[in-house]
Chain A
Amino acid sequence: MTATPRLPVTLSVNGETRTLTLDPRVTLLDALREHLLLTGTKKGCDQGQCGACTVLVNGRRINSCLSLAVMHEGDEISTIEGLGTPEALHPMQAAFIEHDGFQCGYCTPGQILSSLSVIEEIRAGVPSHVTGDLEAPIPLSDAEIRERMSGNLCRCAAYPNIMAAIRDYLGEGA
């Protein structure tokens, strides 16, 4: 097997410019975890099926396991590390803790990034499978949120508490 030439790629990761030289096979997920040592983003299935690797690219959530790092030249990547710190939690992180929105925590970075994207996507009028009227404003209903969170699996089945955290974040908590 002949090695392929490594390629330079410059990413903005949580606001910091990072230049790497990578084998083109390196996924965005592995670039973050193995090359930048940002291990907050998790590898679950490595096949687009679980959502543990969810990151934002130019503000939109994607599965970083099904994307090559070299394809992201110039892109802005946001990971869980950029959202908040243990000392200064993002309100969604605080809500997950408040409501026990996890057990093992492995899916949690993906769940948190997805839940913020879900709210934005609803507000931007992106329809979902459960949207009734495709032309009316979309409600921030439980059904809409659940459907849109379906790309984030939780092996510990913390789903009800994840929903409670999101509702709390939206200012409608108990």
Chain B
Amino acid sequence: MKPFSYERVASPGEAVEAAAARPGARFIAGGTNLLDLMKLGIEAPQHLIDVNRLGLDTIEPTAEGGLRIGALVRNADLAADRRVRRDYAVLARALVSGASGQLRNKATTAGNLMQRTRCPYFYNTDMPCNKRRPGSGCAAIGGLTHNLAVLGVSDACIATHPSDMCVALRALDATVETVGAGGRARSIPIAAFHRLPGDRPDIETALEPGELITAVTLPAPLGGVQLYRKVRERASYAFANLTVALVAEEGQIVRLAFGGLAAKPWRVEVAEGGDDADLAADLALAGATPTEDNAYKLPLARRTLKATLAQATEVRS
């Protein structure tokens, strides 16, 4: 790892001030993504600001009947929370489908939102990558693309967003709460939090430099049957090829989002309210730009959605 200095802060205000004082600084939470990338030389912050002791590790009810999840709540604790298991099952199931028990004990809500792509060329520092080195080109285009995106891609980047948690948050219409320079607070709808690559795939979220995520809020529970189905190359401990986050009520799609398919968690609002999985798949996949290697994701998305909707209907009856 490149040398860096390290500081521990005790409040969100201190964290934001520390970041403003040190351009090139980064927050570190669980460290499970950032340290991995630092070891590989893909990230090289000069200064780390440890945000683990900010007191942002509780889950509280909101006045609107929802939940406010502190940025530092660990993925394992969020999945185990009784209210999340009961009222936001799609989120609990998405969380436990990701990573391993050890990693979920460490990974935080904010870190999971900010985790970077698993594109193999992003990880290969010998090859061009517009995310890693803006303007260097994209080795994935024309390369081995079997687990790259088919929706929301650009000429500059065809990577997927790897998070499971974020797909459920997108289906549930979560909001990301932040505090920025000078203590300015913002609420960013999850739909606007992750960006499409366009011509700047290195800019991945709506966060400004030095802006700190303080919480994620969930609206009041939706009810219905909530399922998360993940298709991957091993039975466990592997990133997704494709996932479906579904909230259904009596065979009808209430919320639908896909993971592994697109440059960001991919909600399909036009399919919500319908009860025909084929039609929903047509709507979801219109405009897809598969390669020969990843064209399998189209029928896989359709069949996985069908199976998930059928399962939701069965659970109901």
Residues of A within 8 A of B (CB): 1-5, 7, 23-25, 27, 46-48, 51, 54, 60-63, 66-68, 70-71, 73, 114, 117-118, 121, 124-129, 131, 134-135, 146-148, 150-152
Contact = CB atoms under 8 A, between A and B. Distances in A.
Given A51-B102, A62-B106, A68-B31, A135 B86 contact: yes
Given A24-B48, A68-B31, A134-B92, A126 B80 contact: yes
B31 A67 contact: yes
A133 to B, nearest CB: 9
B89 interface: yes
A67 B102 CA distance: 12
Contacts of B101: 61, 114, 117-118, 121, 128, 148, 151
Interface string B61-101: 00000000000000010011010011001001100110111
21 contacts: A1-B3, A2-B3, A4-B4, A23-B3, A24-B48, A25-B1, A47-B36, A48-B102, A51-B100, A61-B102, A62-B102, A66-B106, A68-B48, A70-B6, A114-B101, A118-B101, A121-B101, A129-B93, A135-B82, A146-B236, A147-B235
B92 A3 contact: no
A135 B97 CA distance: 17
Contacts of B2: 1
Nearest to A70: B6
A76 B261 CA distance: 41
B52 interface: yes
B89 A129 contact: no
B32 A73 contact: no
B138 interface: no
Contact of A150 (B4, B28, B230, B237): B237
A66 B86 contact: no
A24 B6 contact: yes
B79 A127 contact: yes
A88 to B, nearest CB: 26
A20 to B, nearest CB: 14
Given A3-B3, A71-B50, A125 B80 contact: yes
Q: Select the residue from A4, A46, A63 with max chain B CB neighbours within 10 A.
A: A63
Contact of A63 (B28, B48, B52, B103): B103
Contacts of B86: 134-135
A139 B6 CA distance: 43
Contacts of A135: 82, 85-86
Contacts of A128: 96, 101
A2 B2 CA distance: 10
Contacts of B76: 60, 121, 126
B146 interface: no
A27 B35 contact: yes
B105 interface: yes
Q: Closest 3 interchain pairs by CB?
A: A151-B100, A150-B236, A24-B6
Nearest to B2: A1
B8 interface: yes
Interface string B1-22: 1111110100000000000000
Given A129-B96, A135-B86, A71 B28 contact: yes
Given A48-B36, A71-B52, A126-B80, A4 B89 contact: no
A126 B4 CA distance: 36
A48 B31 CA distance: 10
